[in-house]
Amino acid sequence: MILHALVADAAGAGWAARNGATVVQLRLKDVTTAERVRVGREVIAAAGDLALVVMNDDVAAAIALGCTVHLGQGDEGVAAARQAGIDFGRSAASVEEAREAEREGALYVGAGAVWETPSKTDTGPAIGLDGLGDVCRAVRLPVVAIGGVDSTNAAACIAAGAAGVAVIRAVGELPGLRAVLDTALAARAPKGTG
């Protein structure tokens, strides 16, 4: 869950998986489920064993592919995902939404938007690092920070309690971003007793 790269094709998925992404999320807007399944097969092949593949928003496509699905607050499909036995992640912009995701059985929570971002304009106000920290402390699930995250602020998300980050615009920064995250996670790890 350390580094989610949101991509739109197999080439991007393969590059992301080879360059530090632990999760590759296929995000295709305004296409059919059949098209998401077609591209999803290519993404799964391109990512190989290097990264977990997640389908964004489309539970029917995720079921057809046998992969994890990410569902936003407005997306239906939790019951269908559970019935099909596939894992799902949920978006949360508040402690209440995160706790509900945990009750539903989510694999992880995508918390944000932490900062305003042009990549996703249909979200509420940014929750900031304080809101991210509140979500992280409220649930036992891994929390992935999303929204305006890049290599300059990813370590602050880890310091706030996030297990990882998700990026869209900063996908090109993956190798450096992964190094930043690994350093931040190592600094946060409990120290052994001599």
Count of Cβ atoms closer than 10 Å to residue 193 Cβ? 4
151 assigned to active site: no
Tokens describing residue 115: 């900062």
Question: How far is CA 75 from its chain centroid?
Answer: 15
Which residue in 18, 41, 99, 120 is the catalytic one?
A: 120
Placement of tokens 């936003």 in the chain: 72
Nearest to 170 by CA among 189, 148, 155: 148
Structure token pair of residue 189: 């790890």
Residue 140 is among the residues annotated as catalytic for this protein: no
Six token digits for residue 13: 């998925």
> Could you confirm whether 191 is annotated as catalytic?
no
User: Looking at 36, 90, 91, 151, which residue is catalytic?
Assistant: 91
Q: Which of 18, 27, 41, 99 is catalytic?
A: 27
Annotated active-site positions, please?
Answer: 27, 91, 120
